[in-house]
A = this chain, B = another copy of it.
């Protein structure tokens, strides 16, 4: 059985730069259920903050409205457990801004770990990342939307995490379910 611990871990969901089906770099639209599912996961696995990254002003306003409904609006009274999760959300322009913000508050450079469904050249294994997290060093786990993170994000991250595989070779999970599996493998109890 794996030992339980609370990692010094941050999560980012990136809407730019990501790629579309044709491999073009785009800014994707925010999906409401991504915010709910990944903030609830973050709360479950002790993630310090959940950054929603988009440079688009209308998308930032959308995220603010959704979060505000559950933090201060009707939703806060209707479902306080949802508030506990969504209060982890921070809105940011770029991965660079998020990294700088975490590094500044931690007093040391955050290790950035990009996730990718494709097998990149030199991937970081779950086992090695788990060991890194146990050292207490701050890590930022970066997820992409649409068809995944743009190559420039993979190139500039400190590490690219090995892809999630099941037992079939099929490798097309939603970002919500991939984030669930990754957070559980890194920090969860496996009874």
Contacts and interface: CB of A to CB of B under 8 A. Distances in A.
Interface stretch (A40-48, A49-57, A62-70, A98-106): A40-48
Most-contacted residue by chain B among A167, A172, A178 (CB, 10 A):
A167
A20 B35 CA distance: 22
A43 B177 CA distance: 13
Interface string A111-146: 000000000000001110000000000000000000
Interface residues of A, number: 46
A125 B191 contact: yes
A159 interface: no
Interface of A: 4-6, 21, 33, 36-37, 40-41, 43-46, 79, 81-82, 84-85, 125-127, 162, 164-168, 170-174, 176-181, 183-185, 187-191
